[in-house]
A and B are shown apart, each in its own frame.
Chain A
Amino acid sequence: MTDATELRRRTAELLAAHPPATTDRLDFLRARFDAGLAWVHYPEGLGGLGAPRSLQVVVDAELEAAGAPDNDPRRIGIGLGMAAPTILQYGTEEQKRRYLRPLWTGEEVWCQLFSEPGAGSDLAALGTRAVREGDDWVVNGQKVWTSSAHVARWAILIARTDPDVPKHAGITYFLCDMTDPGVEVRPLRQITGEAEFNEVFLTDVRIPDSRRLGAIGDGWRVAQTTLNNERVAIGGMRLPREGGMIGPISKTWRERPELRTHDLHQRLLKLWVEAEVARLTGERLRQQLVAGQPGPEGAGMKLAFARLNQEISGLEVELRGEEGLLYDDWTMRRPELVDFTGRDAGYRYLRSKGNSIEGGTSEVLLNIVAERVLGLPAEPRTDKDVAWKDLAR
């Protein structure tokens, strides 16, 4: 087993062979990947060393101290957090070798073609069709809520390959080339004024069968790996005290005594406590994971985070009084990064409305907690034994 000492030795070796000060950024990142120090828990030859995941911090700390460049993880979050673990679990050796390295270095950005206008919470009802033609699949349909589609080189895509079986059984998972002429990306403007997401129209897009991930008809199971990692990514950020949405409003409160009222004070303190308690819950969850005792608490983190962001930012708009009547900028922008705490209070208020929708609505997550954690009876399922083509729509 590779331990911390061994990782430090390998990191020092990497730094000696490729001094960050005189090495091109991309060359350094490629060398780091090839040294197995990209994600140490990945297998050897795929950017890792098969080491415990918890030891990644050792490498990261050494590299940061040496001033080494990072792979700008926020820009490639979908690739790192969702596409990579799915490719690692279900990809062929050839697929893993082809895609993981440029994914990790950020040379190739990934996006996710899952949701559709007619398939949101009921994602398995999706209707984008993939029809086999020789060695290719021909894909037609429309996807939506696709962040990074306008900068992405690749997409993880789920499409219907068999409409005659129940919905979960007829889905197949593909890796889609976003430069295919049949892929059209249109900005989707949202309530903040900006267009962080896209609609993606797929017209006769040809995907070679070699870019299928997992077996034909097994796409729903493959997608679970992606979706479980999405929820971890959304709910699992580590925060210092006042690290989240509560930070800006606390700062405003301290700096602007003229805005204070007794009513706002009570509401702020209540939310401050809830934010601190949610932070402790996240910290406890991480301690459980490190100790190898994963608990069901993770299912609740995103619920808490969504509600708190919404309530805190809503209070902040109100706290600002006359300034709360203003909004910094309605221009349609195309941000490359999503920053929930960025910009002003009005933006935070509007953007956080998405927190209880994206990555599983709060209503669906409550069902998941009730059924999987508390063991309460599942919702009645009328679609289980019905062929997808016969579902109500």
Chain B
Amino acid sequence: MTDLLYSEEEEALRAAVRDLLTDHCDAPGVIARTESDTPHDLAAWKALADGMGLAGLLIPEDKGGQGATHREVAVVLEELGRAVAPVPYLTSAVVATEALLACETDAGLLAELATGRRIGALAVALSVGPGGAYKVVRHEGGRLHGELTGIADAAAADVLLVPADDGGLYAVDADAVTVTSQSSLDLTRPVATVTLDGAPGRLLGDAEPAVRRALRAGAGLLASEQLGLADWTLTETVRYLKDRKQFNRPVGGFQALKHRLAQLWLEVVNLRAAARGAADALASGEDADVAVAVAQSYAASVAVHAAEEAVQLHGGIGMTWEHPAHLYLKRAKADSIAYGTAGAHRAALAELVDLQAP
């Protein structure tokens, strides 16, 4: 039976992560960082990974990790979503880690990712979903050649996991490639171009199963990040509308707005169940394809709706650079493409539950 609740340990984990992010990732700091040379907050990352050991949650203890499950990772991601924290957690501690776990050949690299001292990135465009086609580089004479675009958090990565045309997945040091930041819609999870010009790579294993497994976990757990994002925008909008007065009364007392916020609350409640369902299914391995597809068919519309309502219902202040609402809108909109659109996940679901297209 799917367990859709949070355990006491998970709630304690949530509280600890929230405390840490309150100290490290306040909104003005995150906004200022987006325009700096280092869009990623590596101090926050060190605190999460090294200080709390959260980068190794998915990695078994005998491989240097914490031996936890997707359920705990999902709780961490909820909190990271609430703070739109610019840390490479989903990309390194989930997606790159899952790809390495699928290969099971490189215990050393896995242990390094577990401590967070090295950051990994799967060199597959962020827009690719679990069943989607992805670009590969050319493998020739033991060297890799090609250009890959839309690679999330590549600018922060120490090692890239690169699929090649021989069917292999290769570990490539970031020093051996050129990473060029792309001007990104999501300022807190920027994408970059990775250019390989004869870079040496170490073969990890077959790319196909590793990429599939990594993207499925990424998609399923992204729903928890989207939940955190939606929950924060709803809470903050409700708080603001209780406080903001126009026409001699709190704006939140107008029924037109009350109904919109109540509808949004209902969506967030639904997303919580869907996201917990996906996390639990990934942890148990039961029904995971369907649970992930359901969560990702639903999550994007809720996160985008919540962020759009936050911008609209904050009125003029919601349109400013100074107010953080735009960070959430940009993240939510980019997330609606990340690891496959809702439409792509619905198409996958059509096959999984036998509701075939005409």
Q: Which residues of A contact B (CB under 8 A)?
A: 250, 253-254, 257, 260-262, 265-266, 268-270, 272-274, 276-278, 280-281, 283-284, 287-288, 291, 293, 297, 300, 303-304, 363, 366-367, 369-371, 373-379
Contact = CB atoms under 8 A, between A and B. Distances in A.
B252 A300 contact: no
B133 interface: no
B273 A273 contact: no
B5 A291 contact: yes
Contacts of A297: 269
Contacts of A260: 356-358
A273 B4 contact: no
Contacts of A265: 350, 355, 357-358
Given A269-B297, A280-B4, A281-B273, A375 B349 contact: no
B255 interface: yes
A304 B270 contact: yes
Contacts of A293: 5
A272 B265 contact: no
Contact of A287 (B5, B259, B343, B355): B5
Interface residues of B, number: 42
A270 B345 CA distance: 10
B179 interface: no
Contacts of A273: 294, 297-298, 346, 349
14 contacts: A253-B355, A265-B355, A272-B353, A273-B297, A280-B270, A281-B270, A281-B272, A284-B5, A284-B273, A284-B276, A287-B3, A374-B265, A375-B242, A376-B241
Given A366-B259, A379-B255, A277 B346 contact: no
B201 interface: no
A253 to B, nearest CB: 6
Interface of B: 2-5, 238, 241-242, 249-250, 252-253, 255, 257-259, 261-263, 265-266, 269-274, 276-277, 294, 297-298, 343, 346-347, 349-350, 353-358
B154 to A, nearest CB: 32
Given A262-B357, A304-B270, A377-B250, A276 B263 contact: no
Nearest to A283: B4
B355 A272 contact: yes
Given A273-B298, A284-B276, A377-B250, A250 B355 contact: yes
Contacts of A367: 255, 258-259, 262
Contact of A366 (B263, B277, B356): B263
Contacts of B271: 277
A283 B297 CA distance: 19
Given A366-B263, A374-B262, A281 B269 contact: yes
Nearest to B257: A376
Given A254-B355, A260-B358, A377-B249, A288 B5 contact: yes
Most buried by A among B241, B249, B355: B355
Given A253-B355, A281-B273, A370-B258, 15 more contacts: A266-B346, A269-B297, A269-B349, A272-B349, A272-B355, A273-B298, A274-B270, A277-B271, A284-B273, A370-B262, A374-B258, A374-B265, A375-B238, A376-B252, A379-B253
